[in-house]
Amino acid sequence: MRSNHEIDYKIIGEEMQYVEVELDPQETAVAEAGSFMMMDDGIQMETIFGDGSQQQNSGFLGKLLSAGKRVLVGESLFMTTYTNMGQGKKRVSFASPYPGKIIPLDLQLLGGKVICQKDAFLCAAKGVSVGIEFQKKLGTGLFGGEGFIMEKLEGDGMAFVHAGGHVMQRELQPGELLKIDTGCIVAFTQQVNYDIQFVGGIKNTLFGGEGVFFATLRGTGTVWIQTLPISRLAGRILSYATFKRKEEGSILGGLGNMLDGDGW
């Protein structure tokens, strides 16, 4: 028996996916602002303080604490709930913000807790708690780089996270060690031990770029890995947007622009 709302779902699309959540009467889904795509008539939207989890029944102080944890991982104080106030089943859909895949996580089957990247959460059944995952070691917090302020999803309902590019699910065996770029981690189960490792040496320090730090994940547990972290995609787009070819003194000059389409 689940304490969180029990929702049905369908993931639609290939590269720009969306998840369609089916709600029975009085069932509720919660989502981040900006993820909403469409919904049937009869679904009521409401902005709430925090994540709407059962832990907030303690009153305003409990709600403030829950919302404050979301602020620590860079999320808004508020979330939006979608409740079926009509008769019969109703559907509401949430879209991924960039090309990639949506990963369904049944928290009841995953031990009640999954740790994920701070920008990975998309939506969930009402009752799922979204908060900060405190780091096990001081070094993790200091040197996590782009991705190691993590957030945790707790409860026994369905939650959905999104990832960039292709997604691989890896089952770590007892004692198995996986070294991975911090930005490529989407999520992992709570049994997985994780840390940040520094790659020493003069060559690595001077020329390694983003490879100076990487995460170490040790089994047993499940890890979801993405091929295209949003930070990496944004960095490439920014580098192209701010790059200006210097034509003075070049052999091709304006002809180079013409060949790649800039001169037409």
* Tens place of pLDDT per residue across the chain (264 aa): 778 888 999 999 988 899 999 999 999 999 988 899 999 999 999 988 777 775 444 555 555 566 555 555 556 678 899 999 999 999 999 999 888 999 999 999 999 999 998 889 999 999 998 888 865 554 544 444 444 578 899 999 999 999 999 999 999 999 999 999 888 999 999 999 988 777 665 555 555 444 467 788 998 999 999 998 877 777 778 887 765 554 444 444 554 454 455 444
Measured distance CA(215)–CA(223) in Å, rounded:
12
Phi and psi for 141 in degrees, rounded to 5? Answer: -70, -35
Beta strands in 33-99 (DSSP E): 36-39, 43-49, 78-84, 90-95
Contact 219, 172 (CB under 8 A): yes
| Amino acid 234: pLDDT | 78
The stretches of 185-248 forming alpha helices (DSSP H) are 202-207, 230-241
| Amino acid 204: pLDDT | 52
Nearest to 148 by CA among 121, 192, 126, 181: 181
Q: How many CB atoms lie within 10 A of CB 237?
A: 10
* Domains delineated in the chain: 8-240 (3.60.160.10)
User: CA neighbours within 13 Å on the CB side: how many for 190?
Assistant: 15
Measured distance CA(186)–CA(150) in Å, rounded:
10
| Amino acid 141: pLDDT | 45
Q: How many CB atoms lie within 10 A of CB 159?
A: 27
| Amino acid 148: pLDDT | 59
pTM > 0.75: yes or no: yes
Residue located via tokens 């993790």: 140
Measured distance CA(77)–CA(63) in Å, rounded:
10
Measured distance CA(168)–CA(184) in Å, rounded:
10
Residue located via tokens 């940040």: 196
